[in-house]
Amino acid sequence: MLKTFLDERREDNHLGPTAAVAAVMRLGEKGPEVLFIERAVKDGDPWSGQMAFPGGRTELKDKSSLDTARRETLEEIGFDLNQTMILGCLSDQEGGPKGSSQKLLVTPYLYWYDQENFTTSLNHEVAAIVWVPLENLFDESRHIQYAYPPLGNQLWPGIQIDSKRVVWGLTLRMIEDLFERVGFPLKLR
Q: Is residue 172 part of a domain?
A: yes
- The DSSP output letter for 163 is S
Q: Is residue 188 part of a domain?
A: no
Q: Is residue 186 part of a domain?
A: no
> How high is the pLDDT of residue 1?
44
Q: Is 111's pLDDT higher than 60?
A: yes
Counting the structural domains of the chain, the total is 1
Q: Is residue 124 part of a domain?
A: yes
Question: Is the Cβ–Cβ distance between 146 and 126 less than 8 Å?
Answer: no
Q: Is residue 189 part of a domain?
A: no
> How high is the pLDDT of residue 189?
63
Q: Is residue 153 part of a domain?
A: yes
What pTM was estimated for this model as a whole?
0.89
pLDDT-based confidence at 114, cuts 50/70/90?
very high
State the CATH number of the domain containing residue 66.
3.90.79.10
Q: Is residue 105 part of a domain?
A: yes
Q: Is 4's pLDDT higher than 60?
A: no
Torsion of CA 134, 159, 127, 94, to 10 degrees: 100
Q: Domain residues for 46?
A: 2-8+15-181
> How high is the pLDDT of residue 188?
83
Q: Is residue 187 part of a domain?
A: no
Q: Is 98's pLDDT higher than 80?
A: no
Tell me the pLDDT tens digit for each residue of 37-93: 999 998 877 778 899 999 999 999 999 999 999 999 999 999 999 989 999 999 999
Q: Is 117's pLDDT higher than 90?
A: no
SS3 131: strand
Helices (H), the chain: 65-77, 134-138, 169-181
Tell me the pLDDT tens digit for each residue of 137-181: 999 999 999 988 777 888 999 999 999 999 999 999 999 999 998
